[in-house]
Amino acid sequence: MKKLTQKQRERQRRLMAYRWRSDRYQYLLRRRARQNREKYGGLIYYLKAPEHFDLTGRYTLPLLQFIKRLTKAAASPDTGCIKLDFSSTEIMVADGTLYFLAHLERLKLLYPQKRFRMCPPSDAIVKQVLHHVGIASHLGSVKDLQPEKLHKTVRYWHKATGIKVEPGRAENVFGSFEGRITKELQRSVYTGVSEAMTNCLHHAYDGGTPEICRRWWLFSREYNGEMHVVFCDLGIGIPNSLYRKTEDVQEGWWDALRQWFRENRKSGQYFDDAMKIKAAIEIGRTRTKLGHRGKGLKQMVDFLEKIGHNSAKVSIYSGKGVYHRAPKNGKPCEFTFPLSIQDRKATIAGTLIHWSVPLIGGSD
């Protein structure tokens, strides 16, 4: 047998060391995976949270994709724990934050055996928001924060959720704005929230939705001298419910709907989900025979014309469309547009309504 040279022996040593390190690394990975399966009942799934939790503009699609991946991971039988990394998150907007919170709570109800954990954010305000609205506690991080130590942009966040028509929850949420919002405007917003709860209970969810998941979520927040109120459900959405055939549909509803479409087609309108939301508002009547049902969706928009300076705004997200009503040149104007320009297939599950009204005296 030919004797190896010094150079060949060194090469053999380096090769053996490389193979050992590689085998050792793979062994450690397998051991860690085995330990995770024993601890969590499956693998750990790491998911990077978006920088902005926001449903407007270019931030919409990253948030929806994040929630879609989260839902898919929770449904996977191989996943035992989902760890959400908020280290890059910089902004938490009320509408995007509530929509994410609603999905997170729904997933925890659907998959109680799954573990949800988090990597904390580097931004101090984002960290306060996550703890203050309860997201951190759902992710295994509990921390008592004193209200006086919260940042002024976080201090006035309030949350409510339920499975029944409970307007009293809304009163509690509006309590911190006592004396800083006109009585007429408070009644209008309160009526809209009550109607949204009723709609959620009777129409938002189909028969396939588990009873425990038929919930609504509500946020209020003070920001830049305005009261922001966001209501959300994860039902079938306004575009689908518009055509839903049930036994309690009011007589004349379908005729009114067809007439509205005929009139708007003459102007060349494209009937996407945003226009369907507009139809539900402009027809201005309940679609059911139930006598206790009101016209909350229309009232929620029409109150913009009743307050000074037309300074309130309303946005309604559902399906693939957005309806927005805001002041322009001193008068309230309405706009309809797709949810996401980057991806026309992007969809909001259920309905999210976000309106803002000015506060007397501005913010602290």
How far, in Å, CA of 173 to CA of 263, rounded?
A: 40
Q: Tell me, what amino acid is at 314?
A: V
For position 293, what pLDDT does the model report?
A: 43
For position 138, what pLDDT does the model report?
A: 94
Burial 325-355 (b: 16+ CB within 10 A, else e): bbeeeeebeeebebbbeeeeebbbbbbbbbb
Residues 323 and 274 sit within 8 Å (Cβ to Cβ):
yes
Residue 324: CB atoms within 10 A of its CB come to: 18
Residue 260: CB atoms within 10 A of its CB come to: 17
- pLDDT, tens digit only, all 364 positions of the chain: 577 788 888 888 888 888 777 777 777 777 777 776 666 677 889 999 999 999 998 999 999 999 999 999 999 998 999 999 999 999 999 999 999 999 999 999 999 999 999 999 999 999 999 999 999 999 998 887 777 788 888 887 888 888 877 666 666 666 555 555 556 666 667 777 777 787 777 767 877 778 888 889 998 887 777 888 899 999 988 888 887 776 666 677 778 888 888 887 766 566 688 888 888 888 755 555 554 444 556 766 765 555 545 677 889 999 999 999 887 777 778 888 888 888 888 999 999 999 787 776 554 4
For position 291, what pLDDT does the model report?
A: 43
* Cα 245 off chain centre by: 27
How far, in Å, CA of 257 to CA of 250, rounded?
A: 12
Scanning 266-363, the segments in alpha helix (DSSP H) are: 273-283, 296-302
Instruction: Say what the alpha-carbon torsion angle 118, 122, 125, 131 is, to the nearest 10 degrees.
Output: 20
For position 98, what pLDDT does the model report?
A: 95
How far, in Å, CA of 80 to CA of 41, rounded?
A: 5
Which of 297, 291, 119 is closest to 199 using CA atoms? 297
Coil, helix or strand for 318?
Answer: strand
Residue with tokens 């330990």: 35
